[in-house]
Amino acid sequence: MAKGLFPRAWVKKSFYFQARISFVRVKYLFLTWLAVLVGSWVLYVQYSAYTELCRGHECKNAICDKYRKGIIDGSACSSLCDKDTLYLSRCLSTLADNQVYTGSWGDHDGIIRCKLGEVVHLELDEEPEPRRETPVFDKPTRGTSVEKFREMVFNHLKSKLGEQTNLASLVSQILTVADGNTDGRVSLPEARSAWALLQMDEVLLGLLLQDRGHTPRLLGFCGDLYMTERVHYGPLYGLSLPWPLVSWVPSSMQRSMDQWFTPSWPRKAKISMGLLELVEDLFHGTYGSFLICDLAAAHFGYTDRHELRLTDARAVVSEDEFKRTMRALKCETDADCVYGVDCKTLCDLSEKRCKEEPVQPNLAKACGTLKDYLLRGAPSGMREELERQLYSCMALKASNAGQMNMEHSLILNNLKALLWRQISHTKDS
């Protein structure tokens, strides 16, 4: 009897063991299948986003089509469309209608930007339609003289920058840039390209600031496609994460990582002085005053000599245009009076209109951006004084114009002097 029970019990246990193994196998098979399915879906979504964002070939085809028809011309057209010596490389686009690529042109590495019309969203199995083009190359019209074009440019600059005494010299500078083949005259196709570029505020502001070394140099253009110098180090601090990781890394973790990947402190001090000099030149510049309305680190980079560059001039607006825009804004509270990301004014509750004076000057916002950047790793002998000056700077308000000018200059000069004393004896200076 006992002998018969043992095999039966053993068979029963063996059956349950095999059944359990089968269940585990099915479970892991299901989980593996689920992981493959989810992974494939994520990859498809990311690939779809990439193909929608990165449409540089459409930009090139549309630009070269206009060039070959004689509608546009520029210093980069022949290299882009005929010689194929201007290449679009890695896609950096974050918006489908604003194409951004790294590129090379002979010995130059640069960033290529091109405006792209709206892309229609279609079903998964359909091909995307070509871009909806806007008639950006219809001015100046045939028969327009160079003097008439000069007047068009002058009036456009006046509308953007306000009344400035030296606009005529800026017009001459722009006409020199427009002469892409440097033959001493601006042809109609070249004028159309230059006019299209001037409609983009970031190009105009880049031209205004590049002489002072604050923005990357314009290397060439064709229509509304243009190439600027590449700034190899950016953003100002932190990591520029690859596009598949951006949505997966929590913002709190990104903020804590920001200060891990920065140069040595003397080099940070030199980069910071570049930002302070940019603020100084924008405060009362050659062509008026400007406001920086987004001081995010992503809009700045630096060269291998640790010289700061403003890599996205869309963050800057002329004070004249800012005031004009704010005057037209209706409001209920102060929260309604915001231009860009952080250019704010107060709401006039009696008139339900935004006031035109910014609440906080550029310098205060710049010091807020630099606070953690400079204090981390600062020499112990000057850390306390640096912190005091940075907080005094951050407390600046846009009060009485004369008083603010004096305070602005005093704080700016003191901060620059403090940083310079610390690094003037080092090789990083």
pLDDT of the chain, 429 residues: tens digit per residue: 444 544 555 445 555 555 555 655 666 665 676 666 565 544 544 444 445 789 889 999 999 999 999 999 999 999 999 998 999 999 988 888 889 999 999 889 999 999 876 544 444 344 444 444 444 688 899 999 999 999 999 999 999 988 888 899 999 999 999 998 889 899 999 999 999 999 998 999 989 888 888 999 999 999 999 999 999 887 887 666 555 565 666 666 666 666 667 888 999 999 999 999 999 999 877 888 899 999 988 889 999 999 999 998 888 999 999 999 999 999 999 999 999 888 999 999 999 999 999 999 999 999 999 998 999 889 999 999 999 999 999 998 876 555 667 888 899 999 999 999 998 877 655
CA 75, CA 26: separation in Å to the nearest integer?
64
List the Cα angle 217/221/222 in 5-degree steps. 175
pLDDT of 216 reads: 94
pLDDT of 402 reads: 58
Which residues, 6+ apart, have CB-to-CB distance to 76 below 8 Å? 86, 105, 180, 219, 220, 221, 222, 225, 226, 227
Asked whether the bond before 235 is cis by omega within 30 degrees of 0, the reply is yes
Half-sphere exposure of 418 (CA within 13 A, CB side): 21
Half-sphere exposure of 7 (CA within 13 A, CB side): 3
Beta-sheet pairing, 86-91 with 98-105? antiparallel
CA 52, CA 46: separation in Å to the nearest integer?
10
Torsion of CA 321, 323, 324, 329, to 10 degrees: 130
pLDDT of 157 reads: 93
Taking residue 301's Cβ as centre, other Cβ atoms within 10 Å add up to 22
Token look-up 């359909």 returns 126
Taking residue 333's Cβ as centre, other Cβ atoms within 10 Å add up to 9
List the Cα angle 41/46/49 in 5-degree steps. 125
pLDDT of 82 reads: 93
CA 195, CA 293: separation in Å to the nearest integer?
25
List the Cα angle 336/364/218 in 5-degree steps. 90
pLDDT of 117 reads: 63
Sign (positive or negative) of CA dihedral 51, 310, 105, 198: positive
φ, ψ of residue 110 in degrees (nearest 5)? -155, -175
CA 379, CA 172: separation in Å to the nearest integer?
48
pLDDT of 186 reads: 94
For the entire predicted model, the pTM comes to: 0.79
Q: Residue 62 is which amino acid?
A: A
What does R_g of the chain's alpha carbons equal in angstroms? 29
Half-sphere exposure of 112 (CA within 13 A, CB side): 29
> Rounded to an integer, what is the distance from CA 20 to the centroid of its chain?
57
pLDDT of 354 reads: 96
The pair of three-digit structure tokens given for residue 55, joined into one six-digit string: 């449409």
The pair of three-digit structure tokens given for residue 208, joined into one six-digit string: 């205004």
Cβ 365 vs Cβ 295: under 8 Å: yes
Q: Which of 293, 295, 335, 350 is nearest to 318 (CA)?
A: 293
394 DSSP assignment = H
Q: Which of 317, 297, 318 is nearest to 308 (CA)?
A: 297
Indicate the SS3 state at residue 306: coil
Taking residue 108's Cβ as centre, other Cβ atoms within 10 Å add up to 15
pLDDT of 119 reads: 47
Cβ 320 vs Cβ 339: under 8 Å: no
List the Cα angle 282/288/294 in 5-degree steps. 40
